[in-house]
Structure 1
Amino acid sequence: MKKASKVFYITFALIILTVAFGVIAPETFESASGSIRNYINTAFGWYYLMIMGILMIFVGIIIVSPYGKIRLGKDSDRPEFSTFSWISMLFSAGMGIGLVFYGASEPLSHFAVQPPTAEPGTDAAFKESLQRTYFHWGIHIWTMYGMVALSLAFFQFRKGEPALISSTLKPIFGDKMNGPLGTLVDVLAVFATVFGVATSLGFGAAQINGGIAYLFGAPQEYWVQMIIIGVVTILFIISAWSGLNKGIKYLSNINMIVAVVLLVLVLILGPTLLILNMFTETFGEYIQNLISMSFTSAPLDAENRSWLDGWTIFYWAWWISWAPFVSMFIARISKGRTIREFLTGVVIAPTIFGSIWFATFGTTAINLQKSGIDLTAFPTEQTLFAMFNELPFGFVMSIIAILLVSTFFITSADSATFVLGMQSTRGSLLPSNQIKILWGVAQSMIAAILLSVGGLAAVQNTIIIAALPFSFVIILMLFALVKALNLELQMMKK
C-alpha cells in the first residue's frame, strides 16, 4: 500500500497490542482502564466542564464576528451538497446509533433510577430528566464538533493543507507538524476514531440482536451478533466504496427520512399533548439554565458530584474522543459554506432535532413508567422495544427502529472508514478503496473480538482516557484557528 502513511502502520500496531491485551487479560484490562478513567473523571472533571463551556461561548462569538463571512474554500466555491443532505450526513455521523439506543432509556434512567437532584419518580425528576438529556446531546456536543470541524475545513479548503488534525496546528508549530510531533497528533486521532466507532458497532449489534430477540424470540447470543456485524460490514464497505456522493449521501438521506417517520409515529401514537407540553417547558428551561448547568461541578455535594462523574463528565470525555472522526467528516462535506452558515447549521439543526427526539421518546417511556409498566426491568438495548410494545402498531415501529439502527450502523461505519482513510493517507480527500476496506474490516473485527470477551466497557474506558490528551490538541487548534482567521481578515481588507 504505497499511499499509506506512517500513521497507518503505527496506529495499526497500537490497535493490535490493545486488542490483544483485552483478549488475553480482559479483567485486568477493564480494571486498569477503569481505574485510570475514574481518576481522570475525578481530577479533571472541572477541566472538561470548563473546556466544553468555553467552546460553546466561543462558537457564539465566532458566528456574530467578522470571521463569519469567510468562506470555507475559495470565494467562488459553493456547497457541494444540498442543505438537507449536508444536515443528514453530519447528523448520521454525529449521533447515529446513540439516538436510538438511548432515546427512551436515558430520560427514563434520570427519572426512575438516578435523577441528578430530584427524588426518583417525581414530577421534578420528570422535567429534570429531559433537561439533562438535552444537555448531554445538544449544544455542547455540536459546538465542540463545530469548532474542530471548522478548523479542519478552513485549513483544508481555504489554505490548501492536507486533511489532517496536525495540519491545523501549523500556525503555532510550523513545519514541526510535518515531523514526529504531527505524526503523534494524527496517531492519537486515528486511535480514538477506531475504538470509538468499534464501540458503537458493538452497541448497534447488541441493540439489533435485542430487538430481534424481543420481537421474535431469537437467541440473544454472541453468534447472532457476529452474523449482524458480518452482514452490516459488507453493506457499509459497499457504501464506502461508492463514495460520498452516492452511498454515504443516499444512506444518510434515508436515515433522516426513516428517523422522522419513526418520530412522527411515536408523537402521534404516544401521549401527544403531554409530549408537546413537556418539550415546550423543558427545552425552554434547558436554554434558560444552560450557563449554570455548563459550569456546575458540585464540589460540596458528594451525591450530585457522583452523578456528574457518571453522566456529564463521562459524556464530555466521550464526545471529545469522537471529535477527530465526526469533525473530520463534517469538515469534508462542508466545503463552500461560510463560517457563519457552517456553525449555525452544525449547532442549531442537530440540537433542535435531537431535543425533539428525546422529548418524544423520553416522555412516552416515562409516562408508561408512571402508569405502572416497569420499563427499567428491561436491559438498555430492549427498553425501546418494550416501550413500543405498549403502543398501537408497536410491532411496526419496532421493525422501523431495527431498520433505523441498521442504517445508522452502516452510515457511522462507512463515514468512519472514509475518515480513517483520509487520516492514514496523508490527508487525501479521496482515499483508496483498498485502505477504506481494510479499515472497515478492522473496525468490525475489533467490535467482534471485544464483544466475544465482554470488553466494550474497557474500550469505552480506553477512548475516554485518549480524550484527555486530545482535549489539549483542541485548545491548541482554537489558538491556531484564531491566529489564522485574523491573518485572513487582514488579507481580505487589502
Structure 2
Amino acid sequence: MKKLSKVFYITIGLIVLAVGYGALAPESFEAITSTIKSFVASSFGWYYMLLMTLMLILSIFFIFSPYGKIRLGKDSDRPQFSTITWISMLFSAGMGIGLVFYGAAEPLSHFAIDPATAEPGTSAAFKESLRQTYFHWGFHVWAMYGVVALSLAFFQFRKGEPGLISSTLKPIFGKKMEGPWGTLVDVLAVFATAFGVATSLGFGAVQINAGLNYLFGFKIGITSQIIIIAIVTVLFVASAWSGLSKGIKYLSNMNLLLALALLGFIIIMGPTLLILDMFTDSFGGYLGNIVQMSFRTSPLNGHNREWLDNWTIFYWAWWISWAPFVSMFIARVSKGRTIREFVTGVLVAPTLLGTFWFSAFGTTAIDFQKRGIADLAQASTELTIFEMFHVMPFSTGISVFAVLLIGSFFITSADSATFVLGMQSTNGSLTPPNRVKLAWGITLSVIAIILLSVNGLAALQNTIIIAALPFSFIMLLMIISLFKALKAERK
C-alpha cells in the first residue's frame, strides 16, 4: 500500500474514534448527534434551500452558456462509456437502492400519514405527495451532484490535477491545497463518504433481511444482518477488484434492466391509466410549483416548518453529505463528454427515470390504500413494497425479484464507493490498488456491523448530516474556483 496518503490514516483514526464512541455509549452518541442535527436543520434550513436552488440555476446556466462546448478532457478525448452505460452508472451509484426502499413508502407517507400542507387522505394530498417526492429526488439533487462532479471532472481531466476535492480549490488557494489544508478538505470528504456508505450498508441489510423474512421466514436480527453484509461485502469487493470496465459497468447495466423490468411490471399490473394520468398531472405540478417549493421555509407555520426540517431539509443535508462519493464517481466515468452533454445528462436522465418510478410505485400504493385493498400505511418502511406486492399477481416471484434488485443496487453502490474511497486515499489515483479497495470494503462492513449491533445507525445518520454543513461551504468554494478556471480557459 505504498500509494496510501495521510488522508487514509487520519480518516481511519477518526472512524475508530466515532465508531468506538457509538459502540461504547450509543445512547449518549445518539442524543448528542440528534441535538446538533436539530440545531443545524432549524438554523440553516434557509441556507440549504438557497444552496440547492443555486445548484439548479448553475446547472441550467452551464447547459446554455458558451462554457458548454468545453470538453472534460483533451479536445480529442471521447467518452469511455456508451450513453446508456453511463446513465446506468449514474443511476446505480446515485440513488438506485433508495428508489426501491422509498418508492412506495415516501409518497404513501406524504398522502396518508404526514402530508406537507394538505389534509391526509385527500385528493390534494395525493397530488402533493408525488410532487414533494419528485422534489426530494429530482432536479435539485442531480443539479448538486452535477455541479460538484463537473468541477472534479474539469480539473481532473482538463487540467490534469489529481482526482481529489482539494485539487479543485487550487485556483483560489494555490499550493496551500497540497499541504495540511488540502488534507483537511479530503479527510472531510472521505469521512462523509465512508459513513454514508456504511449507513446504506446497514439500512440495505435491514431491508434485505425484512424481505427474506417476509418471503421465507428468514429470522430478523443482527446475526442474519451480519451474514447478509458479509455476503454482500464479498460480492462488492470482487466487483470493485475487477475495475470500472468490468464489474461496475456490467452490474450497472444489469441494474437498469432489472429496474425497468420491475417498473414495467408495476405499470402493467397496477392501476395503469391512473399511473399515467397521475404522472402527467403531478409532474406538471412539480414543474409549475418548483420555484415556490425551492424557497419555502414556512417561518410562520410551526407544523409546516417541522415537516420541512424532517423531510426536505433532511434530504438536502443527506444528499450534500453524499456529494463527495457520488460526484467523484460521476466525474470518474464522464471523461470525454462536453460540459453541455455532461450536465444535461446528469440533470435530466436520472430525474425523469426517478420521477416516473415514484409515480408508478407511489400511485399504486396510494390507490391500494384508498380502495382498502391493503393497509400499507401501517407497514414499516422496509416492508411497504413487499406488502404492496403481496396483493398483486405473481407476488412471491416479484418479491424475490425485488430482493435481487435491492441486492444488486446494494453491491453497485458499495463497489462504486470502495473505488472512490480508494481514489481519495491514494492521492487521486484513477486506478487505486486492489488492496486499498479491499481495505475500504472491509472497513465499511465493520462499521455497519458494529453500529447495527448497538442500534447506532440513527446516530451515524445524524453524524453524516452534521458533516454536510462544512462540506457545503467547500462546495461553494468549488463553484468559485470552477468559474475562475473556466474564465481563464476561454481567454
1:468 matched residue in structure 2:
469
1:355 positional shift: 0.2
Distance 2:433 2:366 in 1: 47
Matched, 1:171 2:171: yes
Q: Which whole-Å CA distance do the structure 1 matches of 2:102 and 2:235 have between them?
A: 24
Tell me which residue corresponds to 1:101.
101
Give the residue type in structure 2 aligned to 1:124: A
Letter in 2 for 1:421: G
Partner of 1:366: 366
- Shift, 1:394, TM fit: 1.5
SS of 2:91's partner is helix
The one-letter code matched in structure 2 to 1:420 is L
Partner of 1:197: 197
Partner of 1:395: 396
Whole-angstrom distance in 2 between the partners of 1:82 and 1:279: 29
Deviation at 1:378, TM superposition (A): 1.4
Give, in whole Å, the separation in 2 of the partners of 1:267 and 1:395.
Answer: 18
Shift, 1:217, TM fit: 1.8
Letter matched to residue 205 of structure 2: A
The match for 1:234 is: 234
Pairwise CA distance, 1:374: 1.1
Partner amino acid, structure 1, of 2:405: L
Amino acid at match of 2:144: M
Aligned equivalent of 1:48: 48
Tell me if 1:382 matches 2:406: no
Q: Which residue of 2 aligns with 1:430?
A: 431
Distance 2:18 2:264 in 1: 43
Deviates more, 1:225-234 or 1:373-382: 373-382
Q: What displacement does 1:442 show?
A: 0.5
SS of equivalent to 1:161: coil
Q: What letter corresponds to residue 203 of structure 2 in structure 1?
A: F
Residue type at the aligned position of 2:446:
M
Structure-1 residue corresponding to 2:443: 442
CA distance in structure 2 between the partners assigned to 1:470 and 1:50 by the alignment: 15
Q: Which amino acid aligns with 1:299?
A: P
Report the secondary structure of 1:300's partner residue: coil
Q: Residue 110 of structure 2 aligns to which amino acid in structure 1?
A: H
The equivalent of 1:3 in structure 2 is 3
* Partner amino acid, structure 2, of 1:437: L
Whole-angstrom CA distance in 1 between matches of 2:371 and 2:28: 43
Instruction: Provide the secondary structure at the position in 1 that maps to 2:72.
Output: coil
Q: CA deviation at 1:161?
A: 0.1
Corresponding position: 1:279 with 2:273? no
* Deviations 1:20-41, CA, capped at 9 Å, x for gaps: 0000000000000000000000
The Cα shift of 1:460 comes to 0.6
Deviation at 1:376, TM superposition (A): 1.7
Letter in 2 for 1:383: T
Q: 2: distance between equivalents of 1:222 and 1:375? A: 26
Q: Which residue of 2 aligns with 1:142?
A: 142
Could you tell me which amino acid in structure 2 is paired with residue 377 of structure 1?
Q
Tell me the TM-score normalised to structure 2 length: 0.99
Q: In structure 2, what residue type is equivalent to 1:259? A: A
Cross-structure match for 1:417: 418
Deviations 1:132-169 (A, max 9, x none): 00000000110000000000000000000000000000
1:276-319 CA-to-partner distances (Å, cap 9, x unmatched) read: 00000000110111111000000111110000000000000000
SS of equivalent residue, structure 1 residue 341: helix
Deviations 1:415-459 (A, max 9, x none): 000000000000000000000000001001111111111111001
**Alpha-carbon distance between aligned partners in 1 of 2:402 and 2:453, rounded to the nearest angstrom:** 25
Q: Hey, what does 2:405 align to over in structure 1?
A: 404
Tell me what 1:225 maps to: 225
Q: In structure 1, what is the equivalent of residue 132 of structure 2?
A: 132
The answer on 1:186 being equivalent to 2:180 is no
In the alignment, structure 1 residue 58 sits paired with structure 2 residue 26: no
Taking the TM superposition and a 5 Å limit, the aligned residue runs for 1:476-487 are 476-487=477-488
Per the TM alignment, residue 96 of structure 1 is displaced from its structure 2 partner at its CA by: 2.2
In structure 2, distance between residues paired with 1:54 and 1:329: 22
Runs of 5+ in structure 2 lacking a partner? none
Residue type of the alignment partner of 1:413: A
Quote the residue 1:32 is aligned against.
Answer: 32
Gaps of 5+ in 1: none
Matches of 2:272 and 2:91, distance apart in 1: 25
Q: How many residues align?
A: 490
Partner Cα distance (2:204, 2:96) in 1: 10
Normalising by structure 1, we get a TM-score of 0.99
Runs of 4 or more consecutive aligned structure 1 residues displaced over 6 Å after TM superposition: none
In the alignment, residue 260 of structure 1 is paired with which amino acid?
Answer: L
CA distance in 1, matches of 2:204, 2:402: 11
Residue 265 in structure 1 maps to residue 273 in structure 2: no
* Amino acid of the structure 2 residue aligned with 1:88: S
Aligned positions of 1:313-324 closer than 5 A: 313-324=313-324
User: Take 1:475 and 1:401, find their aligned partners in 2: how far apart are those partners?
Assistant: 39
Could you report, residue by residue, the CA deviation over 1:181-220 in whole angstroms, capped at 9, with x for unpaired residues?
0000000000000000011111111111111111112211
Q: Which range is displaced more, 369-378 or 22-31?
A: 369-378
CA distance in 2, matches of 1:326, 1:55: 15
What's the secondary structure of 2:432's corresponding residue? coil
Q: Which residue of structure 1 aligns with residue 337 of structure 2?
A: 337
In structure 2, what is the equivalent of residue 455 of structure 1? Answer: 456
- For the aligned residue pairs, the C-alpha RMSD in angstroms reads 0.5
Q: Summarize deviations over 1:112-148 as a string: whole Å, max 9, x none.
A: 0000000000010000000000000000110000000
Q: Distance in 2 between matches of 1:486 and 1:67?
A: 9
Between the aligned residues of both structures, percent identity stands at 68
3-state secondary structure, aligned to 2:490:
helix
Counterpart of 1:276 in 2: which secondary structure? Answer: helix
Aligned counterparts of 1:2 and 1:484: Cα–Cα separation in 2: 32
Q: Distance in 2 between matches of 1:219 and 1:237?
A: 26
Rounded Cα–Cα distance in structure 2 between residues aligned with 1:215 and 1:436:
34
